[in-house]
Amino acid sequence: MDRALSALLEAQELSPVGGLHPLGGGDIAAVYRLETSQGTVAVKRDDAERLAGEADGLQALREAETSLLVPEVLALGDGWLVMQAFDEAGSRSSCSAEVLGEGLRQLHSQTAVEHGWSRDNACGRTPQSNAPLADGRAFQRERRLLPLAKACHERGLMDARLRSRIEVLAETLEDWLPEAPASLLHGDLWSGNVLYTPQGPAVIDPAVYRHYPDVDLAMLTLFGSPGEAFFEAYWDGNTPHDWPRREALFQLYPLLNHLLLFGGGYRSGVERALARVEGG
């Protein structure tokens, strides 16, 4: 076992029983399960700054005290993050979807005036600027859409015309998107970051900041759907009239990030989402 990890575990009085067991799904970082004499823990190996941002986000989600389960951070240092591990033997059902919806509504009810966060973090391997802005439209434009469109264009992943369309959209958000308080977000809530445990749904791998709550909802629907029970619990029958357009808008950033991280296969998704927003 890595010496730095051994020292980190020893400092927290966690005694390993056996070695690290790789867990699936780690496209960005290596994730392991480790048995200790004090119970099972999850261990992640990654860039130290990204892990610090993740640990900060986990702490913020735990302090929000919602019905969602959030791993406790047990140790952090030298490129390692040690966390509470959850048993994933639970099942996805209408009941668990309802709890997920209620928990996310509780999280989003915690609002602030400024959009952003006290520190930058990362969405996958992509650095994520969270410098606060008072206006959410400006935050979405300056901190999310324009930087990602620029990066994709500079790497040859989109042409000048597509970049220009995104820039026009970003500059006209004030024409249709109302300002709103900044909700506390998970920030990277795709389906793979929701675990279904016997105690209820848990959320992992956050990229926390404050912004429109649509960010988390749009991410959950990007590669599937959390189900009708989720939306009934979250919206309580009050579906926003412009949800399809808002959903497409807030899917643009994660789609641009996927284009940047994984290549041209995601360009068509960017174009489809952009067309949905442009169509109103």
Write the pLDDT tens digit of every residue in 182-196: 999 999 999 999 999
> Which amino acid is present at 80?
W
Provide the pLDDT for residue 27.
66
> Which amino acid is present at 26?
G
Same domain, 9 and 28: yes
Same domain, 205 and 127: yes
Q: pLDDT-derived band of residue 29, with 50, 70 and 90 as boundaries?
A: confident
Write the pLDDT tens digit of every residue in 157-180: 999 999 999 999 999 999 999 999
Helical segments of the chain, H only = 3-11, 48-63, 94-108, 136-139, 146-154, 160-171, 214-220, 228-235, 243-262, 267-278
Q: pLDDT-derived band of residue 144, with 50, 70 and 90 as boundaries?
A: very high
Name the average pLDDT for the chain: 95
Provide the pLDDT for residue 38.
87
**Averaged pLDDT for residues 143-155:** 98
Domain membership of residue 267 as a residue range: 94-278
Choosing from 188, 205, 214, 216, which is the catalytic residue? 188
Structurally, how many domains does the chain consist of?
A: 2
Between CA 100 and CA 200 the distance in angstroms is 8
Same domain, 193 and 66: no
Same domain, 221 and 251: yes
Same domain, 99 and 72: no
**Averaged pLDDT for residues 221-233:** 94
Q: State yes or no: pLDDT of 140 exceeds 70.
A: yes
Provide the pLDDT for residue 91.
74
Provide the pLDDT for residue 25.
61
Is residue 150 in some structural domain?
Answer: yes
> Which own/partner contact pairs does 122-128 have at CB distance under 8 Å and 24+ positions apart?
122/49, 122/50, 122/53, 122/207, 123/187, 123/188, 123/207, 123/254, 123/257, 124/27, 124/28, 124/188, 124/257, 124/261, 125/28, 125/50, 125/261, 126/257, 126/260, 126/261, 128/187, 128/207, 128/209
Q: Please identify, among 34, 58, 84, the residue that sits at the C-terminal boundary of a domain.
A: 84
**Averaged pLDDT for residues 62-82:** 96
Q: State yes or no: pLDDT of 26 exceeds 80.
A: no
Write the pLDDT tens digit of every residue in 193-210: 999 999 999 999 999 999
Distances (CA, A) of 258 to 108, 157, 254: 25, 11, 6
2 is known as an active-site residue: no
Q: Please identify, among 84, 104, 122, the residue that sits at the C-terminal boundary of a domain.
A: 84
**Averaged pLDDT for residues 211-239:** 94
Helix (H, G, I), strand (E, B) or coil at 163: helix
Residue 198 maps to which CATH number? 3.90.1200.10
Distances (CA, A) of 249 to 35, 134, 253: 43, 19, 8
